[in-house]
């Protein structure tokens, strides 16, 4: 017994002795410029396995460090690694300041004085957020080769991209979502879509993208699908100047012949129609057209070989100390071009028995120019107060030429040239401020002005018919040979004022007022060519590319050709929407683990469209409403890692301007026509969400979400046939629903090797209104896929302090979805599943130089559409095209 006691005493003395030799280090890791804590930084004792990860306050603690001294190695993604010498007995808490490692502009984003570009920092934002959100930052987008916001949004759970860039969220189409820039609404230049084309925003100007699929009362209530907020970059890090350059192209396009209809200047310039041709009286126009050239371009088609694509970006950021304040300046300008050839594509329409009405094959050639510029000024003073100004400019110009060949519904064997140019423009100005009065009171305000334009400056078409192995001009009616000029201008003013009061440990109360005023003007002019007296000899198909040999000013002056101007009252409309809103919002913690986010919003909306009926009678449609929109978001944290969220809200779906304007719009001969409906009413949505979230160390996470949406009076597209062409219109259905399950996880498999994936499984259903010619009166929502999958695997090892490799494989699967609704006894047209696989690799040689290689669409699958014929049970292919794989090489140099 005595021996045993002696052993215990000796062991105790040994432990005490070892404990006396060991020591503990505590500290905090912060950003050197902003002094904000860095969440998730790694602190390790050099040469040992002793280490820690900083918590949400940037703090760490290391116990039982042996010896008299140690070296701490402190690392954080996008920051320079620091080594700190620490001596035993140092009682003062360490403050370790890391400097940003600005390797390239695309990876420099610090917003609201927090580094919200990194995946791990954004994970923390998701975990702390009052409402359920998903996000993706500049770092992750760069690593995965995401070049614009549209591609980034597509990686979010439950989001897919339909034709013409329409965003589908949880099966709900474009009209169910909303887009903001730095939290303020932004107008769309696309007349067909509510949302602004997201490919207008290159990632070189973007800090992060945040997507919220639940409603919070401080936002406008016109969404049930998603609120997509694009955060632009601000300069709060170290000064920098960077230049990047990239080249590449599509494998099916490079070196091939590219066709383009005669054009004036380059895509940097927007062609315009002589205002005299619009303003003069019709009788004066006909006399003028017979003796004067009207246009600077012809129907001729030029050919040249496709060169590699080029792009570049210049970025600059600098901080200025102004006594008691700090001024930050950032500027970025990027320009790029793209070329796309799609060969042997096909499209057809059927009748109820499965017999083909129209059957065309086509080759399509497009040239696209993208310009984006960002300027940002930020002024910080009085500790936390901020003033900021942001200017964003974008221009997307795409010119497309299509050579079509096939049979129309009257069995004409046709060959046609069609050229469409779309030029989208955006200018956005934002001014905002944040002011704090003590620890409890805050005032936030902001305002924006955006101007968007959509121009079709000279859409042209000329068609030929084959007869007895010869070609002739097609003269069935005036639409075969024509020119179209259309302009759309939209302006939007937004103002927001919000006051905040904090009480208790974490509670806060917000109250605010918001205002939005949006106006749109649309105007179009068509010029039809009467070719009845023109009978040229067309000896070969090559002659279709030089119609100026016979369709020229001489043929007009000698009376073989006459030009008619169509500029009726129904070819224009003006529209507007003005919203006044006020809201109250509270974050309350009844107990420490439970957050109750509850709010109520009141909106007074006045929406109107001035238009003309087919006969020319002027009409006005007003749609006014006063609504209350409640929202509740609950978050219960079982512990620091596990939480459960529940959300309920009521939101609104307002018809778009084009859906309310009953005039016909047709892109080309034989294509679908669109006619709005002046009797549309608002739809209302009731939304339920339940989400479980698990956040672990090293950025590992798992979430699963179940949701249900009841749609009251949803707006649905209906279709009818008119002379062999499809006419689209819109009506309120009685009700609909969308429900589904979403799963997301991110896992570090090995050091520097990460796997991420998300999947959505959804069911949608809508009962269609009476009056349409559609086959099924109850169906899934148009554009909704029953399943969506995203997955990526990323390898990011470091080689020393400055060298790093990033390699990623990124996969996307979009399930089948309804492209267009079946009519007249035919089933729905469904796009078949699409698999996409991209590879991106980059290597940072030093602090100054980085290179990148990216290959898109490695699988190179065609996009196929099939339509069911109920009378035979057969599924017939009605459309097919293949975009082709592409590659990109880039280099970035940073001073």
| Residue found by looking up tokens 């505590």 in the block | 26
pLDDT in tens, 297-350: 999 999 999 999 999 999 888 888 887 888 999 999 999 999 999 999 999 888
What CATH code would you report for 18-98?
A: 2.60.40.1120
Report d(CA 711, CA 737) in Å as an integer: 5
All structural domains of the chain with their residue ranges: 18-98, 105-234, 245-341+354-894
What percent of the chain stands above pLDDT 90? 47
Question: Hey, CA dihedral for 355, 357, 363, 367, is it positive or negative?
Answer: negative
For residue 694, which of 640, 742, 634 has the smallest C-alpha distance? 640
Region 222-240: what's the mean pLDDT?
83
Region 229-245: what's the mean pLDDT?
83
Sheet holding 59-65, edge to edge: 59-65, 23-31, 94-98
Say yes or no to pLDDT of 723 above 70: no
Confidence band (pLDDT; 50, 70, 90) for 135?
Answer: confident
CB atoms within 10 A of CB 618: 10
For residue 891, which of 209, 246, 438 has the smallest C-alpha distance? 246
How confident is the model at residue 1, as a pLDDT?
43
Give the count of alpha carbons within 13 A of 70, CB side only: 26
Q: 105-234, which class in CATH? A: mainly beta
Region 183-211: what's the mean pLDDT?
82
Confidence band (pLDDT; 50, 70, 90) for 64?
Answer: confident
Return contacts of 585-591, CB within 8 angstroms, 24+ apart: 585/216, 585/217, 585/218, 585/509, 585/510, 585/511, 585/512, 586/507, 586/508, 586/509, 586/510, 587/130, 587/506, 587/507, 587/508, 587/509, 588/507, 589/504, 589/505, 589/506, 589/507
| Residue found by looking up tokens 């949880």 in the block | 170
Report d(CA 630, CA 651) in Å as an integer: 8
How confident is the model at residue 848, as a pLDDT?
86
Burial string for 377-413 (b: 16+ CB within 10 Å, else e) reads bbbbeeeebbbbebbbbbbbbbbbbbbbbbbbbeebe
Kindly state the tokens that stand for 209: 């993208």
Say yes or no to pLDDT of 507 above 90: yes
How confident is the model at residue 33, as a pLDDT?
60
What percent of the chain stands above pLDDT 70? 91
Q: What is the DSSP string of 606-625?
A: EEEEEEE-TT--EEEEEEEE
Question: Hey, CA dihedral for 231, 236, 238, 239, is it positive or negative?
Answer: positive
The runs of H, that is alpha helices, within 608-716 are 657-660
Strands 356-381 and 385-407, bridge-based pairing: antiparallel
For residue 452, which of 489, 487, 422 has the smallest C-alpha distance? 489
Measured CA distances, 376 to 210, 509, 518, 531 (Å): 20, 30, 24, 55
**CA triplet 174, 368, 339: central angle to 5 degrees?**
115
CB atoms within 10 A of CB 52: 19
Region 44-73: what's the mean pLDDT?
82
How confident is the model at residue 68, as a pLDDT?
83
Say yes or no to pLDDT of 555 above 50: yes
Strands 725-732 and 673-675, bridge-based pairing: parallel
Find the range with the poorest average confidence among 364-378, 562-576, 709-723.
709-723
The DSSP element (H or E) to which 181 belongs, if any, is strand 178-181
Q: How far apart are the first and last CA of the chain?
A: 74
Kindly state the tokens that stand for 754: 């990460």
| Residue found by looking up tokens 């930052």 in the block | 137
Region 539-544: what's the mean pLDDT?
88
Region 139-158: what's the mean pLDDT?
84
The residue ranking higher by pLDDT, 642 or 187, is 642
The residue ranking higher by pLDDT, 584 or 162, is 584
For residue 571, which of 488, 650, 636 has the smallest C-alpha distance? 488
pLDDT averaged over every residue in the chain: 86
Report d(CA 735, CA 391) in Å as an integer: 42
How confident is the model at residue 597, as a pLDDT?
96
Report d(CA 478, CA 527) in Å as an integer: 9
Q: Find which of 133-142, 237-246, 414-423 is predicted with most confidence, using mean pLDDT.
A: 414-423
Region 767-785: what's the mean pLDDT?
76
CB atoms within 10 A of CB 730: 22
Q: 245-341+354-894, which class in CATH? A: mainly beta
Kindly state the tokens that stand for 325: 């304040």
Find the range with the poorest average confidence among 100-104, 174-178, 265-269, 471-475.
100-104
Region 745-753: what's the mean pLDDT?
88
Question: Hey, CA dihedral for 744, 750, 751, 753, is it positive or negative?
Answer: negative
pLDDT in tens, 31-41: 776 556 787 78
Q: Could you write out the three-class secondary structure of 355-415? A: CEEEEEEEEEEEEEEEEEEEEEEEEEECCCEEEEEEEEEEEEEEEEEEEEEEECCCCCEEE
The residue ranking higher by pLDDT, 788 or 36, is 788
For residue 101, which of 804, 661, 677 has the smallest C-alpha distance? 804
The DSSP element (H or E) to which 461 belongs, if any, is strand 441-467
Confidence band (pLDDT; 50, 70, 90) for 829?
Answer: confident
The strand pairing partners of 581, in sequence order, are 514, 603
Say yes or no to pLDDT of 258 above 70: yes
Say yes or no to pLDDT of 468 above 90: no
How confident is the model at residue 5, as a pLDDT?
57
Q: Could you write out the three-class secondary structure of 841-881? A: EEEECCCCEEEEEEEECCCCCCEEEEEEECCCCEEEEEEEE
Report d(CA 300, CA 797) in Å as an integer: 54
Find the range with the poorest average confidence among 79-93, 104-118, 159-173, 661-675.
104-118
Q: Could you write out the three-class secondary structure of 183-198? A: CEECCCCCCCCCCCCH
Say yes or no to pLDDT of 201 above 80: yes
The residue ranking higher by pLDDT, 731 or 636, is 636
Q: Is the overall model pTM greater than 0.85, yes or no? A: no
How confident is the model at residue 721, as a pLDDT?
59
Report d(CA 116, CA 891) in Å as an integer: 24
Report d(CA 602, CA 440) in Å as an integer: 26
Report d(CA 387, CA 446) in Å as an integer: 10
Find the range with the poorest average confidence among 152-166, 314-328, 516-530, 582-596.
152-166
Region 283-287: what's the mean pLDDT?
90
Say yes or no to pLDDT of 231 above 90: no
How confident is the model at residue 18, as a pLDDT?
41
Residue 127, phi then psi, degrees to nearest 5: -65, -40
Q: Find which of 652-666, 771-785, 879-893 is predicted with most confidence, using mean pLDDT.
A: 879-893
Burial class (CB in 10 A: 0-12, 13-18, 19+), 188: buried
Question: Hey, CA dihedral for 274, 278, 279, 285, is it positive or negative?
Answer: positive
How confident is the model at residue 116, as a pLDDT?
67
Say yes or no to pLDDT of 478 above 60: yes
Region 513-532: what's the mean pLDDT?
93
Rounded to the nearest angstrom, the gap between the alpha carbon of residue 883 and the centroid of all alpha carbons in its chain is 20
How confident is the model at residue 588, as a pLDDT?
95
Do residues 53 and 47 touch, judged by C-beta distance below 8 A?
no
Q: Find which of 9-13, 38-42, 660-664 is predicted with most confidence, using mean pLDDT.
A: 38-42
Do residues 213 and 341 touch, judged by C-beta distance below 8 A?
no
Region 154-177: what's the mean pLDDT?
82
Say yes or no to pLDDT of 579 above 90: yes
How confident is the model at residue 670, as a pLDDT?
46
Say yes or no to pLDDT of 608 above 90: yes
CB atoms within 10 A of CB 639: 7
Do residues 464 and 415 touch, judged by C-beta distance below 8 A?
yes
Say yes or no to pLDDT of 207 above 90: no
Say yes or no to pLDDT of 849 above 80: yes
Do residues 707 and 687 touch, judged by C-beta distance below 8 A?
yes
């Amino acid at each position: 017994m005595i021996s045993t006691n002696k052993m215990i005493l000796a062991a105790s003395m040994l432990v005490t002795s070892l404990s006396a030799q060991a020591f503990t280090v505590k500290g905090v890791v912060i950003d050197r410029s902003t002094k904000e804590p860095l969440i998730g930084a790694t602190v390790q004792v050099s040469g040992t396995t002793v280490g820690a990860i900083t918590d949400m306050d940037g703090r760490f603690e290391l116990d039982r460090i042996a010896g008299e001294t140690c070296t701490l190695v402190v690392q954080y993604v996008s920051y320079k690694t620091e080594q700190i010498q620490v001596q035993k007995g140092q009682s003062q808490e360490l403050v370790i300041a890391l400097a940003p490692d600005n390797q390239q502009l695309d990876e420099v984003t610090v917003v609201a004085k927090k580094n919200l570009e990194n995946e791990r920092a954004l994970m923390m934002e998701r975990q702390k957020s009052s409402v359920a959100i998903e996000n993706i930052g500049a770092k992750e987008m760069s690593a995965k080769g995401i070049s614009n916001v549209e591609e980034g949004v597509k990686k979010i759970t439950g989001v897919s991209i339909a034709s013409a860039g329409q965003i589908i969220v949880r099966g709900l189409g474009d009209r169910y979502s909303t887009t903001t820039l730095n939290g303020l609404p932004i107008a769309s230049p696309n007349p067909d879509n509510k949302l602004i084309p997201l490919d207008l925003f290159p990632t070189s100007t973007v800090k992060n993208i945040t997507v919220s699929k639940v409603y919070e009362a401080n936002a406008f209530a016109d969404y049930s699908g998603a609120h997509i907020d694009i955060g632009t970059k601000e300069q709060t890090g170290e000064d920098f100047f960077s230049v990047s350059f990239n080249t590449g192209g599509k494998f099916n396009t490079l070196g091939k012949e590219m066709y383009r209809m005669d054009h004036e200047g380059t895509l940097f310039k927007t062609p315009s129609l002589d205002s005299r041709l619009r303003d003069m009286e019709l009788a004066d126009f006909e006399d003028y057209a017979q003796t004067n050239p009207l246009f600077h371009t012809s129907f001729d088609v030029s050919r040249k070989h496709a060169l590699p694509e080029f792009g570049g970006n210049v970025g600059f950021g600098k901080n200025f100390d102004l006594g008691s304040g700090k001024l930050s300046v950032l500027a970025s300008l990027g320009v790029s071009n793209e070329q796309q050839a799609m060969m042997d594509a096909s499209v057809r329409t059927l009748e109820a028995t499965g017999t083909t009405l129209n059957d065309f094959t086509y080759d399509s050639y497009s040239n696209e120019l993208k310009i984006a510029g960002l300027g940002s000024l930020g002024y910080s003073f009085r500790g936390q107060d901020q003033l900021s100004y942001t200017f964003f400019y974008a221009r997307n110009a795409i010119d497309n030429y299509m050579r079509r060949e096939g049979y129309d519904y009257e069995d004409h064997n046709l060959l046609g040239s069609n050229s469409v140019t779309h030029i989208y423009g955006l200018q956005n100005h934002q001014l905002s401020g944040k002011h704090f009065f003590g620890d409890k009171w805050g005032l936030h305000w902001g305002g924006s002005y955006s101007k968007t334009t959509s121009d079709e400056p000279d859409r042209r078409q000329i068609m030929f018919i084959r007869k007895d192995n010869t070609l002739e001009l097609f003269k069935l009616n005036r639409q075969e040979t024509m020119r179209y000029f259309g302009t759309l201008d939209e302006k939007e003013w937004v103002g927001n004022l919000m006051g905040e009061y904090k009480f208790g440990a974490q509670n806060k109360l917000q109250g605010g007022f918001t205002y939005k005023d949006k106006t749109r003007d649309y105007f179009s002019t068509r010029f039809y060519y009467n070719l009845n007296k023109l009978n040229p000899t067309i000896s070969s198909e090559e002659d279709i590319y030089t119609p100026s040999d016979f369709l020229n000013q001489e043929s007009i002056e000698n009376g073989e050709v006459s030009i008619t101007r169509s500029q009726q009252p129904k070819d224009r409309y003006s529209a507007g929407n003005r919203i006044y809103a006020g809201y109250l919002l509270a974050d309350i913690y009844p107990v420490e683990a439970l957050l109750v986010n509850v709010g109520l919003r009141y909106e007074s909306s006045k929406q109107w469209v001035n238009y003309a009926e087919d006969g020319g009678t002027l009409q006005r449609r007003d749609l006014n409403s006063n609504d209350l929109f409640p929202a509740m978001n609950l978050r219960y944290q079982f512990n620091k890692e596990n939480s459960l969220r529940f959300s309920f809200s009521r939101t609104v779906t307002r018809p778009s301007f084009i859906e309310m304007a009953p005039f016909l719009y047709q892109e080309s001969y034989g294509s679908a026509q669109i006619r709005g409906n002046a009797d549309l009413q608002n739809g209302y949505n009731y939304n339920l969400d339940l989400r479980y979230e698990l956040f672990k160390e090293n950025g590992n996470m798992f979430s699963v979400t179940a949701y249900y949406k009841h749609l009251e009076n949803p707006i649905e597209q209906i279709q009818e046939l008119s002379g062999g062409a499809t006419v689209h219109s819109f009506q309120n259905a009685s009700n609909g629903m969308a429900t589904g399950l979403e799963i997301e996880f991110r896992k570090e498999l090995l050091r520097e090797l990460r796997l991420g994936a998300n999947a959505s499984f959804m069911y949608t259903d809508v009962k269609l209104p009476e009056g349409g010619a559609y086959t099924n009166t109850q169906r899934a929502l148009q554009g909704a896929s029953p399943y969506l999958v995203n997955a990526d695997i990323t390898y990011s090892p470091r080689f020393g302090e400055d060298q790093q490799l990033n390699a990623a494989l990124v996969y996307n699967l979009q399930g089948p979805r309804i492209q267009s609704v079946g009519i007249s006894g035919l089933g729905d047209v469904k796009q078949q599943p699409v698999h996409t696989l991209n590879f991106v690799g980059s290597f940072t040689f030093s602090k100054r130089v980085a290179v990148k290689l990216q290959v898109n669409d490695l699988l190179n699958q065609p996009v196929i559409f099939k339509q069911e014929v109920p009378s035979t049970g057969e599924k017939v292919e009605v459309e097919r095209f293949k975009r082709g794989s592409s590659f990109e090489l880039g280099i970035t140099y940073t001073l």
